[in-house]
Amino acid sequence: MPLTFNIRHLDHHGLRLVGELPTSELDLERIDAMILAGERLKHDIEVERHDRAFLVRGSLELLLRCECVRCLRPFEKLLKLSDWTCLLPMEGDEKVLIVNDCVDLTPYVREDIVLAFPQHPLCEVGCSGFLIGARQPSDKNSPSGGSTKRVTAAWSELDKLKL
């Protein structure tokens, strides 16, 4: 069921919409291979009528299940738009579609959620990517018989090239 409001309920006062919207309504499955949207989008929004437009503002929250683009570890990130605002004009080229006195907010919510997706999801800010373990010969008296050398960047050998 899409996120809608009836314009007749706005005649004398604003309208508050609080609840959850299934993310299947937002069609977010094919947006990014590294990001999977949670099951529900939480919303707490207020709708007001201003002259020839509707002002919609409030907060949106969605849990994202991501895969780090550097190390491929799965992690979760809470996408929170705490000051979400949308102005929907009732006239002109950009006018909002009103069907049976109802306005569907779902496309506007979807657009702003997609724009807020992380472009390159990282599990942590300083993620250095894959760590490659290679056994290197070391002191013969060492109990382990070798040490593990950690290469912090997959591109480190390419950085040595002089072009």
Q: Looking at the domain assignment, is residue 150 inside a domain? A: no
pTM exceeding the 0.85 threshold for the entire prediction: no
**Rounded Cα gap, residues 62 and 80, in angstroms:** 7
Note the pLDDT tens digit of each residue in 59-107. 999 999 999 998 899 999 999 999 999 999 989 898 999 999 999 999 9
Q: Looking at the domain assignment, is residue 143 inside a domain? A: no
Q: Looking at the domain assignment, is residue 159 inside a domain? A: no
Note the pLDDT tens digit of each residue in 129-163. 776 553 444 444 544 444 444 545 667 778 888 88
Q: Looking at the domain assignment, is residue 42 inside a domain? A: yes
Distances (CA, A) of 88 to 44, 55, 102: 18, 6, 13
**Rounded Cα gap, residues 6 and 103, in angstroms:** 6
What is the total count of domains within the chain?
A: 1
Q: DSSP alpha helices (H): ranges in 70-121?
A: 106-116
Residue range(s) defining the domain that contains residue 100:
4-116
